Amino acid sequence: MELGLKDKTVVITGGTAGIGRACVDAFLAEGCKVAVCARSGDKLEQFGRDYAGKPVLAVKADTSVPEDMDRLAAAAFDAFGSLDVWVNNAGVYPSGNLMDISLEEWRHTLAVNLDGVLYGCRSACPYMRRQGKGVLLNASSFAANMPTAGRGAYGITKGAVQQLTKVLAAELAKDNIRVASYMPGFVSTDLNAGVTSESGDEALFNQAALHRYGTVREVASVVVFLASDAASFITGRGIEVDGGKYCVQNPWYAWQTE
């Protein structure tokens, strides 16, 4: 399938690890130029070494700071001459009951998972409007549909990202800018490594009809599709990438019957 992504410029926040890094690889495979950001200088330096000689730009920036997102957008445009796709991938996954989580961590979660998405969209939009076309993709989660007690701040922010995605899709449609989200189920990454020890593999497998963890590559493939011309009639929607997580009340059924 021709995806029409060759020579497009893609910005991926939180692109040095996990799903973000898998997205970098997937977009590069389609012939794209990719800019990433992270807060850690060490991670960016290692990322630059790993991708030396490839059309990749690494910028130190904090998604919760709107001026940093403006600077990231400008750097990507200056380096590659366009800004076609923006992937708001950066996120945090704190634990703690809503009555106990510190207000500092609560505000930080909102700042990164929700505010950072809006800032990224606002920074990318002027370039896309001038070009007459663009795609904004936001990291949501299955937790937007069904949050987890003890990790409520995360699910609350992801639910808000879903609403933000819908509103922006309507507001930007006349500018030929599509807005969509991708909603992973449980994917094995450093971000959620602590959940395995809390719940155990089998308990998590039993939540999904496919009875396994997802991989970062599987999510990245969906992100690339959503960015492409093949998804040109998809906007204002979240695409679940969750192995059939709670598609029925007993998704473990096929694995526990003869």
**Catalytic residue ranges:** 154
Match 């089998």 to its residue by tokens: 202
CA distance 227 to 223: 6
Task: Rounding to the nearest 10 degrees, give the CA dihedral for residues 169, 147, 106, 157.
Answer: 0
Residue type, 119: Y
8 Å CB contact between 73 and 11: yes
- What is the sign of the dihedral through the CA atoms of 147, 66, 234 and 182? negative
In angstroms, how far is CA 72 from the centroid of its own chain?
A: 17
177 forms beta bridges with 134
238 forms beta bridges with 181
Q: Which region holds residue 198: left if phi is over 0, alpha if psi is between -120 and 50, else beta?
A: alpha
8 Å CB contact between 172 and 231: no
Match 């790993």 to its residue by tokens: 50
In the three-class reduction of DSSP (H, G, I as helix; E, B as strand; rest coil), residue 228 is classed as coil
